[in-house]
Structure 1
Amino acid sequence: MSSHHIVRDDQEPALIIANGAACSNELLGQLLEWSPLVIVLDSAIERVLELGIKVDVLLGDFDRGFDASHYREMQYPIEIVHTPDQNKTDLEKAFDYLYERNIPAVNVVWATGKRADHTISNLTNMVQYREQLKIVILDDHSKVFLLPKKYEKWYPVNTPISLIPIGHVTGIHSENLFYPLTNDSLTIGYRTGSSNHVAADGIVKIEHDEGDLLLMECFD
């Protein structure tokens, strides 16, 4: 797989490669092509190197006998970022790193699948970075991101869309969804907006008053 392009001024999202289930080479290649910065979590580095990807930043707690000089030689130039804080996941630390570098947006792959606890944590942890980063988590079947209070986007008819609350979300209104929501509330574990779909080609509008709401664009 070819290395990524360098995009000036970080106008395109950075890319984080975590250590969950791999996505397709097609999806990974599309994201790499326009990513100005590629960050790999230490637990995934060997898998990434096998694909021939140029890595800009290797980040993690390096708790498995890590040899920094080995990767510096293989991936020169590369930034090695040691983040030993055990109160945060390596993905959270990567988000912190991007915020400190004033990079406003990031795509994340290999963050779902494999261990269910990691998948749930990776999806729900987006909430705490609402004000710092625009985060999109992608795999071969879904694109997941946190909604602003008002959201509009054009979609083709029958696009599967799920609305998943993180906690309790109130005052939800939608337009152009097959199952409309009108001043509805959703609560994780009790009622969610999964398996909805776009009613007709056109703009979908979603608004909510309070709470944190994930949108999942799904691909069967």
Structure 2
Amino acid sequence: MNQIKFKSNVVILCDGTFPSHPIPLSYLNNAEQIVCCDGAADKLIEYGLSPGYIVGDMDSVSEKTKTDFADRIIASTDQETNDQTKAVDFVSQKGYKSVVILGATGKREDHTIGNISLLLDYASKLDVVSISNSGYFQPVLKSQKFDSFKGQQVSIFSIGTPTEITSQNLKYPLNKSTLNSWWKGTLNECISNTFSLEFLNGRFIVFQKFER
């Protein structure tokens, strides 16, 4: 089973599908700081861990949790952003430089798409990766080499103004290709232990699937 070479002991737990795969669970179990988005705090407590902070508008967390952890609640009624962003802003203000987001996918598809797309906004504040039970998403703002393995499934999403992109070590090569629709960079495959993407002035989100 492949490991993600992303180092952070700070976890934001969103109120989507709770982690069950060993890789996201390893980040959760080893976190020094866990910031829960609203109702995710109830799931974390049921799992057997305690939230360091609970951030959000407090519309889905139980009354018992709000009482038991009253000193850890960071309430915000701002409806111009979502709870995941509120949590990212909070950890950034606390001075953390990197964060792992868990539980951002599953349940409602519109929430999933919104949470993933926001990674590009967070990339200007800190290093961030969002890990689901099937793989991980990371924002990419400049040409980059990625650790991988032969046969790893890879999808590339272009967000914003389309730009030409070239790949190395992908089964279906990109050669100054313009990904002007979300599906165009999906369902690719790495043919080595690394792959790379080269582009100018682009904004991409890359998904890498776990080995199993």
Taking the aligned partners of 2:83 and 2:63, their CA distance within structure 1 comes to 15
Using a 3 Å threshold, how does the CA distance of structure 1 residues 46 and 69 change in structure 2: closer, same or farther?
A: closer
Give the one of 45, 51, 58 matched to 2:47. 51
Instruction: List per-residue Cα deviations over 1:44-67 (Å, max 9, x = no partner).
Output: 222221111121111111236846
Alignment of 1:129-208 (within 5 A): 129-189=122-182, 191-200=183-192, 202-208=193-199
* Aligned equivalent of 1:213: 204
Paired residues in the alignment total 204
Stretches of 4+ aligned residues off by more than 6 angstroms: none
Give the one of 55, 59, 63 matched to 2:59. 63
Give percent identity, aligned residues only.
25
Alignment of 1:9-28 (within 5 A): 12-24=8-20, 26-28=22-24
Taking the aligned partners of 1:36 and 1:30, their CA distance within structure 2 comes to 12
- State which drifts further: 115-124 or 204-213: 204-213
Taking the aligned partners of 1:154 and 1:29, their CA distance within structure 2 comes to 20
Taking the aligned partners of 1:32 and 1:146, their CA distance within structure 2 comes to 21
TM-score normalised by length of structure 2? 0.87
TM-score normalised by length of structure 1? 0.84
Give the one of 108, 116, 122 matched to 1:123. 116
* Aligned equivalent of 2:3: none
- State which drifts further: 152-161 or 108-117: 152-161
Letter in 2 for 1:30: S
Shift of 1:25: 5.9
- Is the Cα–Cα contact under 8 Å of residues 161 and 197 in structure 1 kept in the other structure? yes
Taking the aligned partners of 1:127 and 1:12, their CA distance within structure 2 comes to 18
Shift of 1:35: 2.0
| Structure 2 gap segments, 5+ residues each | 1-6
| Structure 1 gap segments, 5+ residues each | 1-10
Taking the aligned partners of 1:37 and 1:170, their CA distance within structure 2 comes to 37
Shift of 1:130: 2.1
- Is the Cα–Cα contact under 8 Å of residues 24 and 132 in structure 2 kept in the other structure? no
Alignment of 1:106-117 (within 5 A): 106-117=99-110
* Aligned equivalent of 1:40: 36
Alignment of 1:84-103 (within 5 A): 84-103=77-96
Taking the aligned partners of 1:92 and 1:71, their CA distance within structure 2 comes to 24
Shift of 1:211: 2.6
Alpha-carbon RMSD across the aligned residues, in angstroms, is: 2.1
Letter in 2 for 1:39: V
Shift of 1:22: 1.9
- Is the Cα–Cα contact under 8 Å of residues 168 and 186 in structure 1 kept in the other structure? no
Q: Which has the larger radius of gyration?
A: 1
